[in-house]
Structure 1
Amino acid sequence: MDAVSTVEGRAYPFGMKNVDTDMIIAAKWLKTISRSGLGAGAFEGLRQDPDNVFDNPEYRGAPILIAGDNFGCGSSREHAAWALIDMGVKAVIAPSFSDIFSGNAFKNGILTVALPQEAIDRLLEVAKTDPVHVDLETQTVTTPFQDRFEFAIDPFRKHCLSEGLDEIGLTLEQDATIGRFEAKEPSWLRPFAA
């Protein structure tokens, strides 16, 4: 997982409320266990409209998505986070997120930022013409117009994201401790030891 410190650039001014995981990535895309290629199916239903924000060349590849309340509701499909990553999204800003989506996003290196609706409205306006800057260290979202919005984040999630640690990385951080423990165990408890 890549470390996250800052995410800066154009943002998709999406703003839709109650976007469920089926809207993010339809069920027909769930037949794969690969994380690559899912960006092509992200928001497929909405992309039927030729004026959709996701295919607008002005926003293509934007690392930030600004959404409405209750983003990621619905099923627990981790493919939704994979699809966002594959389309280049590294941060999602919304008033609220479903717990399951927020957890899946975190485990896959996507920063979810919850801000009040007034801040979202302002960011949606700015995103139409200018970049947005998200700083995990200072826990702020800023714009070129001196807007500054502070956000809260669980310290454990902040640590993992800023260090690029997924569950395997967290375990590897404890490699020396695990090694010391294993060295103390009698050999009959280590059937696969050399």
Structure 2
Amino acid sequence: MSSAPTREVARRVFAREFNDATYSFKESDDDRAPLYVLLPTGERANRIFVVGTLTETEDVGEDSEYWQGRIVDPNGDTFFVYAGQYQPDAAAMLRELEPPAYVSVVGKPRTYETDEGDVNVSVRPESITSVDETTRDRWVVETAERTLDRIKRFESDSAYEYAEMAREEYELPVENYRRSALEALETLEDEETATEASP
């Protein structure tokens, strides 16, 4: 039996829910224990997988390169990704890509408290890959399905540990995320209709 740590599943999540996931925690006191953010639909996430439109990149570093990327999902909500010297491949992608471009990102969620006491959530990318529209569309469908599954579990009466935790930590109606999922699917349908209508 190998004792090598297994990599956590990368959760698919829309930006609206991800940006609301301001509570982070560890399951143990071990220094190497993974850090999770708690999704408001009652799932923990140590890694996430997102696909969207890279709309802007900027080197916000002072002494060395530190790239910020804005990635917009189909609902117009934004993921912020930050990559510097410890994520050289991701930083190189942000430096070289010309927005707008479809990208997929696998990375770690990071929470950060502002001077005003607000909590911002961003992604520290493990990888950034240029993708096509078909890949983006498939991600939207799968992410909508996963989100709706999480909501169904959240609303069922079973005592699901992370759903309980989410109820305690967030006073956010999960209906918001159901709407995000359905709106995202509608944008795909609208795009298809527009494509068919164009000569």
Q: Shorter-chain TM-score: which interval?
A: under 0.3
Alignment TM-score, normalising by the size of structure 2: 0.25
Alignment TM-score, normalising by the size of structure 1: 0.25
Higher strand share: 2
